[in-house]
Amino acid sequence: MAGNSLVLPIVLWGRRAPTHCVSTLLLLEDVPMVVSGCHDGQICLWDLAWDLQLNPRALLFGHTGSITCLAKASASSDKQHVVSASESGEMCLWDVNDGRCIEFTKLACTHTGIQFYQFTVGSQREGRLLCHGHYPEILVVDATSLEVLYSLLSKISPDWISSMTILRSDRTQEDTVVAVSVTGILKVWIVTAEASRMQDTSPVFEEESKPIYCQNCQSISFSAFTQRSLLVVCSKYWRVFDAGDYSLLCSVPSEDHQTWTGGDFLSAEQVIVWTEDGQSFIYKLPASCLPASDSFRSDVGKAVENLVPPLLSNVLDRATQELLICPPVTRFFCGQKDFTYKLLIQGDSSGRLSIWSIPEALEQQSGKAVRK
């Protein structure tokens, strides 16, 4: 910008808008807004109304490869930042209020998952991005500059990380990173003690390494309701573990050649898991999986086939049965602030987003489908 001149970026295309084959999804509570990334490298911002109507607001261009993951990159309501990563190794930091790309970097590795983590140093609150992907470590990245600060490394059986979650405990005030490698090894790192070493680039090694025999792990989720349960979804089965010592509590195999692709906790007693073809299943966990029950851990040590199985209580079918060129992407979001919906959001290869609002009583499900 020179003098009083103003330069405005303008994006033009022909009679057809760019395709939007959805590859990943993110819900922002404070705005509220849905962010979708696609295989062509674009990012779409969707305004989400309180009646769950979706309206596309902006299409962002900044990547040369398929978007592999999205994550929020700020915690304050006055600053709405999102980070995106592509299979080309690019990372972009976006201000979703106006669609600006604030920071850009490119690494020699591909991120497949990013989680935002915030901690307090004195009176300052710092944001970090914990990244994993096609490399045998977890990178801790500054959420403002996208600078790699240090790494979480493995001494035992180092390998690519399939999925990762952050366990936050109100009881111990100690936060941990729990991840599952592609070979089914569960890894645990303590992050609270290391977080204050902001400029220390020395690696941090795992506190625990345990084989849990979970091959092709698709997602790992920590229950905010019990702060004791861990859901691990693999392509051919999903399992619940005790987050205290990672003992197996229950296991459910896939049926009819289904492939599980993710899941999360709906409540202390229920989980929702979804398949590659876009179906979602809601299960009620047995008493042996519930920390508040007298039967908690009663099945620990038994063979998998002898565990008490969860009860299938509901099935959500895909919003449309039209033929898709690639599997739909499904994500579950549980509101923590004013936006208290429990939403299942699905994006497909035609650029359509579908939303299910899951009520506390599961006799009825409301679903909405929106197409860009």
| CATH number of the domain enclosing 292 | 2.130.10.10
* pLDDT (0 to 100) of residue 204: 86
- The mean pLDDT value for 14-29 works out to 82
The count of structural domains within the chain is 1
- Report residue 36 as tokens: 């979708």
The CA distance from 235 to 366, in Å, is 27
* pLDDT (0 to 100) of residue 1: 43
Domain that holds residue 327: 75-371
> For tokens 């990672």, what's the residue?
246
Q: Angle at Cα 284 formed by Cα 283 and Cα 287, nearest 5°?
A: 145
Of 60, 67, 64, nearest to 98 by C-alpha is 60
Number of H helices, E strands in the chain: 1, 29
> For tokens 């497909």, what's the residue?
348
- Does residue 134 form part of some domain? yes
- Does residue 324 form part of some domain? yes
- Does residue 277 form part of some domain? yes
Q: List residues bridging with 318 in a β-sheet.
A: none
Residue 28's SS3 state is: strand
Q: List residues bridging with 181 in a β-sheet.
A: 161
Of 317, 321, 323, 328, nearest to 351 by C-alpha is 328
- Report residue 138 as tokens: 């977890």
- The mean pLDDT value for 334-357 works out to 84
In this predicted model, what pLDDT tens digit does every residue of 170-208 receive, in sequence order? 665 678 899 999 999 999 998 864 454 544 566 789 999
Of the given ranges (126-135, 238-247, 359-368), which has the lowest mean pLDDT? Answer: 359-368
Residues, the chain, total?
372
- Does residue 59 form part of some domain? no
Query: Could you tell me the CA-to-CA distances from 264 to 117, 121, 231 in Å, in that order?
Result: 19, 31, 7
The CA distance from 67 to 191, in Å, is 27
- Does residue 325 form part of some domain? yes
- H or E element in which residue 194 lies: helix 192-195
- Does residue 327 form part of some domain? yes
pTM of the entire predicted model: 0.89
In this predicted model, what pLDDT tens digit does every residue of 50-104 receive, in sequence order? 888 888 888 999 899 999 999 999 877 778 899 999 999 999 999 999 899 999 9
Strands 111-121 and 176-181: unpaired
First to last CA, the chain: 34
Q: Is the per-residue pLDDT at 234 higher than 70?
A: yes
Q: How confident is the model at residue 120 (pLDDT cuts 50, 70, 90)?
A: low
Q: What is the dihedral of CA 43, 36, 337, 358, to 10 degrees?
A: 170
Of 371, 366, 320, nearest to 342 by C-alpha is 366
- Does residue 58 form part of some domain? no
The CA distance from 286 to 300, in Å, is 13
Q: What's the one-letter identity of residue 130?
A: L
Task: Please give the backbone phi and psi of residue 50, each rounded to the nearest 5 degrees, phi first.
Answer: -70, -20
- Does residue 301 form part of some domain? yes
Q: Is the peptide bond before 32 cis (omega within 30 degrees of 0)?
A: yes
- The mean pLDDT value for 235-262 works out to 93
